[in-house]
Homo-oligomer: A and B are copies of this chain.
Amino acid sequence: MNNKQIETIRHFNRKYTQQLGILQKNVFNSEISWAEARILMDVGYMKNPTPMKIAINLDLDKSYVSRVINKLNNLKYIEKKDTKKDKRTKLLYLTNTGKQVVEQLNINSDKQIQLIIDNLSNEEQESFYQSINTLNQLLEKGGINHVEN
């Protein structure tokens, strides 16, 4: 991999995060902010989510995560349950309301994605998807910061 190629990747990173940043502002609702939405969605996606695992996964401070989780808990979006194995940790669950909110966030997110690809032809859309798919697989292998079970 030469410098020119690295530079292309850097360019993509800049451009794509910028675009996502703009889109994400339209994703979350008035109840919760983007960071809070990210954490909520992570509770939905993770296998056995605990505050600590989420903090590591999203690279956020654990005290910040703790506060956000309390807020989400007050909103009745998630529940905290003590574990028997380790009395320090708490397992997190989405409530039914929480699941609905996550679902809505995903719908909003998908709409924003559509905004980008709607400008592309069918062939280009397919090409877009294939590239993303490839990157997903490569990230799965090469990516950093895997948080397991």
Contacts and interface: CB of A to CB of B under 8 A. Distances in A.
Nearest to A113: B9
Number of identical monomers bound together in the oligomeric complex: 2
Contact of A20 (B7, B13, B124, B126): B13
A109 to B, nearest CB: 5
A39 to B, nearest CB: 12
If over half of A's interface residues share one DSSP class (helix, strand or loop), that class is named, otherwise mixed; here it is: helix
10 contacts: A7-B110, A8-B132, A12-B135, A13-B20, A14-B41, A21-B58, A22-B145, A116-B144, A119-B142, A128-B135
Given A9-B128, A19-B143, A119-B142, 13 more contacts: A1-B125, A1-B126, A13-B109, A14-B41, A17-B17, A18-B58, A18-B59, A21-B58, A22-B144, A119-B141, A131-B134, A131-B135, A131-B138
